[in-house]
Amino acid sequence: MELDIKAYNNALTAGDKAISNLLAGEISKGLPTAACKIWHRHPVWFINDNPIVGYSKLKDCIRLLFWSGQSFDEPGLQPEGTFKAAEKRYTSKEDINTADVQRWLGKAQTIQWDYKNIVKRKGKLERLV
Protein backbone atom coordinates (compact mmCIF):
# COMPACT_ATOMS: atom_id res chain seq x y z
CA MET A 1 0.00 0.00 0.00
CA GLU A 2 1.29 3.47 -0.88
CA LEU A 3 2.55 5.44 2.12
CA ASP A 4 0.14 8.34 1.55
CA ILE A 5 -2.82 5.96 1.44
CA LYS A 6 -1.56 4.20 4.55
CA ALA A 7 -1.34 7.61 6.28
CA TYR A 8 -4.90 8.44 5.15
CA ASN A 9 -6.20 5.16 6.61
CA ASN A 10 -4.19 5.56 9.83
CA ALA A 11 -5.82 8.96 10.48
CA LEU A 12 -9.29 7.34 10.63
CA THR A 13 -11.10 5.88 13.63
CA ALA A 14 -10.45 2.19 14.29
CA GLY A 15 -13.64 1.01 12.57
CA ASP A 16 -13.17 3.23 9.52
CA LYS A 17 -9.49 2.26 9.35
CA ALA A 18 -10.43 -1.44 9.28
CA ILE A 19 -12.88 -0.81 6.41
CA SER A 20 -10.35 1.30 4.50
CA ASN A 21 -7.48 -1.15 4.95
CA LEU A 22 -9.64 -4.01 3.69
CA LEU A 23 -10.82 -1.96 0.69
CA ALA A 24 -7.28 -0.81 -0.15
CA GLY A 25 -6.06 -4.41 -0.05
CA GLU A 26 -8.91 -5.67 -2.23
CA ILE A 27 -8.44 -2.85 -4.75
CA SER A 28 -4.69 -3.45 -4.93
CA LYS A 29 -5.33 -7.18 -5.43
CA GLY A 30 -8.00 -6.58 -8.09
CA LEU A 31 -6.11 -3.81 -9.94
CA PRO A 32 -2.45 -4.78 -9.44
CA THR A 33 -1.11 -2.56 -12.24
CA ALA A 34 -3.24 0.50 -11.45
CA ALA A 35 -1.53 3.62 -10.11
CA CYS A 36 -2.82 4.90 -6.79
CA LYS A 37 -2.49 8.18 -4.95
CA ILE A 38 -4.34 10.64 -2.79
CA TRP A 39 -6.44 12.68 -5.22
CA HIS A 40 -8.76 15.43 -4.01
CA ARG A 41 -7.86 14.30 -0.46
CA HIS A 42 -8.96 10.65 -0.98
CA PRO A 43 -7.31 7.40 -2.10
CA VAL A 44 -7.96 6.80 -5.82
CA TRP A 45 -6.71 4.17 -8.28
CA PHE A 46 -6.11 5.05 -11.94
CA ILE A 47 -5.67 3.17 -15.20
CA ASN A 48 -3.87 5.26 -17.84
CA ASP A 49 -4.45 8.40 -15.74
CA ASN A 50 -8.22 7.76 -15.71
CA PRO A 51 -9.80 7.49 -12.23
CA ILE A 52 -11.31 4.03 -11.73
CA VAL A 53 -12.08 3.50 -8.05
CA GLY A 54 -11.52 5.18 -4.71
CA TYR A 55 -12.91 5.50 -1.24
CA SER A 56 -13.57 8.35 1.15
CA LYS A 57 -14.74 9.05 4.66
CA LEU A 58 -18.24 10.46 4.82
CA LYS A 59 -19.99 11.57 8.00
CA ASP A 60 -21.26 8.12 8.98
CA CYS A 61 -19.53 5.65 6.66
CA ILE A 62 -16.77 4.87 4.18
CA ARG A 63 -17.89 5.27 0.58
CA LEU A 64 -16.42 3.06 -2.15
CA LEU A 65 -16.81 4.87 -5.48
CA PHE A 66 -16.48 3.50 -9.00
CA TRP A 67 -16.26 6.31 -11.55
CA SER A 68 -17.93 4.18 -14.27
CA GLY A 69 -20.03 2.08 -11.87
CA GLN A 70 -23.46 2.95 -13.25
CA SER A 71 -22.50 1.03 -16.39
CA PHE A 72 -21.68 -2.16 -14.43
CA ASP A 73 -25.35 -3.20 -14.13
CA GLU A 74 -24.83 -4.20 -10.50
CA PRO A 75 -27.73 -3.98 -8.02
CA GLY A 76 -25.29 -3.59 -5.09
CA LEU A 77 -24.05 -0.22 -6.38
CA GLN A 78 -26.08 2.99 -6.09
CA PRO A 79 -25.86 5.85 -8.62
CA GLU A 80 -23.82 8.83 -7.41
CA GLY A 81 -23.71 12.26 -9.01
CA THR A 82 -24.66 13.39 -12.49
CA PHE A 83 -22.16 11.36 -14.54
CA LYS A 84 -21.56 7.57 -14.52
CA ALA A 85 -20.33 7.01 -10.96
CA ALA A 86 -21.81 4.50 -8.53
CA GLU A 87 -21.10 3.85 -4.87
CA LYS A 88 -21.37 1.39 -2.03
CA ARG A 89 -21.33 2.60 1.58
CA TYR A 90 -19.91 0.66 4.50
CA THR A 91 -20.32 1.19 8.23
CA SER A 92 -18.35 -1.90 9.33
CA LYS A 93 -15.68 -4.18 7.93
CA GLU A 94 -18.11 -7.09 8.17
CA ASP A 95 -20.41 -5.38 5.65
CA ILE A 96 -17.83 -5.83 2.88
CA ASN A 97 -18.47 -8.73 0.53
CA THR A 98 -15.03 -9.16 -1.03
CA ALA A 99 -16.42 -11.29 -3.87
CA ASP A 100 -18.67 -8.37 -4.86
CA VAL A 101 -15.76 -5.94 -4.66
CA GLN A 102 -13.58 -8.19 -6.85
CA ARG A 103 -16.39 -8.58 -9.40
CA TRP A 104 -16.86 -4.80 -9.52
CA LEU A 105 -13.11 -4.31 -9.93
CA GLY A 106 -13.13 -6.74 -12.85
CA LYS A 107 -15.88 -4.70 -14.49
CA ALA A 108 -13.99 -1.49 -13.72
CA GLN A 109 -11.15 -2.70 -15.94
CA THR A 110 -13.42 -3.46 -18.89
CA ILE A 111 -16.04 -0.72 -18.55
CA GLN A 112 -14.56 2.77 -18.43
CA TRP A 113 -15.70 6.26 -19.27
CA ASP A 114 -13.08 8.90 -20.07
CA TYR A 115 -13.02 11.09 -16.97
CA LYS A 116 -9.43 12.09 -17.67
CA ASN A 117 -10.57 14.33 -20.56
CA ILE A 118 -13.94 15.48 -19.22
CA VAL A 119 -12.80 19.10 -18.83
CA LYS A 120 -11.32 19.19 -22.32
CA ARG A 121 -14.63 17.85 -23.66
CA LYS A 122 -16.61 20.44 -21.67
CA GLY A 123 -18.37 17.92 -19.44
CA LYS A 124 -19.10 15.32 -22.12
CA LEU A 125 -18.12 11.75 -21.25
CA GLU A 126 -17.04 9.23 -23.88
CA ARG A 127 -16.84 5.49 -23.35
CA LEU A 128 -13.30 4.09 -23.48
CA VAL A 129 -13.84 0.36 -23.18
Quick: pLDDT tens for 9-68: 999 999 999 999 999 999 999 999 999 999 999 999 999 999 999 999 999 999 999 999
Question: Of the CATH numbers 3.40.50.2020, 3.40.50.2300, 3.90.1150.200, 3.10.310.30, which one belongs to the domain with range 3-110?
Answer: 3.90.1150.200
Within 13 Å, how many C-alpha atoms sit on residue 62's CB side? 27
119 touches 129 (CB < 8 A) = no
Mean pLDDT, to the nearest integer, of 102-111? 95
pTM higher than 0.85: yes
pLDDT for res 90: 98
> Considering the chain, what percentage of its residues have pLDDT values greater than 90?
81
Domain ranges of the chain: 3-110
Cα–Cα distance between 6 and 84 in angstroms, integer?
A: 28
Is residue 78 within 8 A of residue 87, CB to CB? The reply is: yes
On the 0-12 / 13-18 / 19+ scale of CB atoms within 10 A, 108 is buried
Supply the pLDDT for residue 10: 97
How far is Cα 78 from Cα 13, in angstroms, rounded to an integer? Answer: 25
